[in-house]
Amino acid sequence: MACENETAIVLREAGQKVTPQRVHILCAIRHAGVHITASQVIEEVRTSHAFVDASTVYRTLASASDLGLVYETDMGTGEREFEWVGKDRHHHLICRPCGDVTSLDNSYLDGVATLLYEEAGFQADLGHFAIFGVCKGCQAKPRRAR
Amino acid sequence: MACENETAIVLREAGQKVTPQRVHILCAIRHAGVHITASQVIEEVRTSHAFVDASTVYRTLASASDLGLVYETDMGTGEREFEWVGKDRHHHLICRPCGDVTSLDNSYLDGVATLLYEEAGFQADLGHFAIFGVCKGCQAKPRRAR
DNA sequence: GATGCAGCTGCGAACACTTGCATTTGCATC
DNA sequence: GATGCAAATGCAAGTGTTCGCAGCTGCATC
């Protein structure tokens, strides 16, 4: 895995110690490509590497999220999901009825972030958002009154 | 409590059974006025009423959230918070460094919801949003590079 | 008022996640 | 290469939340 060195550099630049556990945890998220749950990370790391305690994984994920290396999202599934921060910032449209997840370009919320900063002085972190609602397909279907 | 009858009507209209537990749980949220955590709800109900199992509270809160009676928000405190859905829809600006929570008028995100519906056909539920970021005060303070 | 049934409740167990603490380890310094 | 320290780890215990199941209850129907 060529990304191990790269990950080590990212860690060091962030002022964190480079430990095999951290490198393996972050590599697992990076290779997942899409969202990956905490338990999937644990499983992945234990398969390819060795035993890593769950609390270590949670702590590493929390600090990586703080440092902006990964996105942490509650998709409403009961488990938190993580994603490596790539070049393209994007959001997710989550359909409550069918559970379908669609990616959404960042441009939609750029204006909101600007507005918030200008009017409220609040520097919003709109890097990764989970927007719940009802998708096109489910709107067509008849459903119970809410 | 005059709201008990009202709450019972709301429940019945939503197609749910009116049980004393549900009425008391919803009344507790209603009277809280602001955000209230799940454990506060449990405590409140047990103080004023009688023993209600935690799983019943969680199930009631989940179904009430589904029905749009309450908002469910992860404020990043580790515990989920609930709020009775009133007339005014609003959002929350949460400052990561200082933990301060500010209310935000709905108008900021109205445009986004419209845009999403027109372009993606996605009916977004932007009724209650938690936006993380850095508030004015914390931006002024010097802080570690992230 | 008796009956039937769907849906709700309480219980216990399981899962998801956090925290405190003693030990280990990366890494800067000598 | 040895040393010291802050930060990271593993462990164990604890909290928050969900789930399956057996029994109970609101409510519609007769």
> What are B56-98's pLDDT values in tens digits?
999 999 999 888 888 888 766 667 888 888 666 778 888 876 6
Q: Is A144 on the interface with B (CB under 8 A)?
A: yes
The tokens of A130 are what? 């989970």
Residue A31 predicted with pLDDT over 70: yes
Q: What is the pLDDT of residue A48?
A: 80
Partnered with residue A137 across adjacent β-strands are: none
Mean pLDDT for the stretch of residues B44-62: 90
Is the model's pLDDT at A19 over the cut of 90?
yes
Q: Name which residue leads in pLDDT, B123 or B144.
A: B123
Answer yes or no: is pLDDT of B26 > 70.
yes
A42-63: average pLDDT: 90
Q: Distance between alpha carbon B29 and the CA centroid of its chain, in Å?
A: 9
Nearest to A122 among B66, B112, B133 (CB): B133
Helix (H, G, I), strand (E, B) or coil at A133: strand
pLDDT given at position A58:
95
Q: From residues 92-121 of B, which are strand C contacts by CB within 7 A?
A: none
CB–CB contact A139 B131 (8 Å): no
Nearest to B113 by CA among A108, A145, A76: A108
What pLDDT band is residue A114 in, cutting at 50, 70 and 90?
A: confident
Of A120, A136, A144, the CB nearest to B93: A120
Q: Give the residue nearest to nucleotide C25 (CA to C1').
A: A19
Yes or no: say if A41 and A57 are a contact pair by the CB < 8 Å rule: yes
Protein CA at A139 to nucleotide C1' at D28, angstroms: 32
Tell me whether residues A93 and B123 touch, CB distance under 8 A: no
Q: Over 70: is that where the pLDDT of B142 sits?
A: no
Is residue A118 pLDDT above 90, yes or no?
Answer: no
Helix axes A3-13, A20-32, angle to 10 degrees: 120
- What pTM did the predictor assign? 0.82
CA-based nearest distance A117→chain B, Å: 9
C-alpha B39/C-alpha B58 separation (Å) is 10
Query: Cβ contact (<8 Å) for B136 and A122?
Result: yes
Distance in angstroms: CA A17, C1' D5: 13
Residue A68: predicted pLDDT: 83
- Where do we find the tokens 């405590």? B43
- Provide the 3-class DSSP secondary structure of residue A115: helix
Helix ranges, B67-135 (H): 107-120
Plot region of B89 (φ>0 → left; ψ -120 to 50 → alpha; else → beta):
beta
Contacts of B16 in chain A (CB under 8 A): none
Strand D-proximal protein residues, Cβ less than 7 Å: A 16-17, 19, 21-22, 51-53, 55-56, 59-60, 63, 78; B 12, 17-20, 37-39, 54-55, 58, 62, 78-80
Which nucleotides in chain D lie less than 7 Å from some protein C-beta? 7-13, 16-20, 25-27
CA closest to A66 among chain B residues? B146
When pLDDT is averaged across residues A21-28 and rounded to a whole number, the result is 92
In chain B, positions 105-134, which contact chain A (CB-CB < 8 Å)? Answer: 108-109, 111-112, 115-116, 120-126, 131-134
C-alpha atoms less than 13 angstroms from C-alpha of B136 in its C-beta half-sphere: 7
- Residue A2's pLDDT band (cuts 50, 70, 90): low
- State both tokens at B82: 């609930």
List of chain B residues whose C-beta atoms are within 8 Å of the C-beta of residue A124? 93, 131-133
Dist CA A1 CA A20 (whole Å): 13
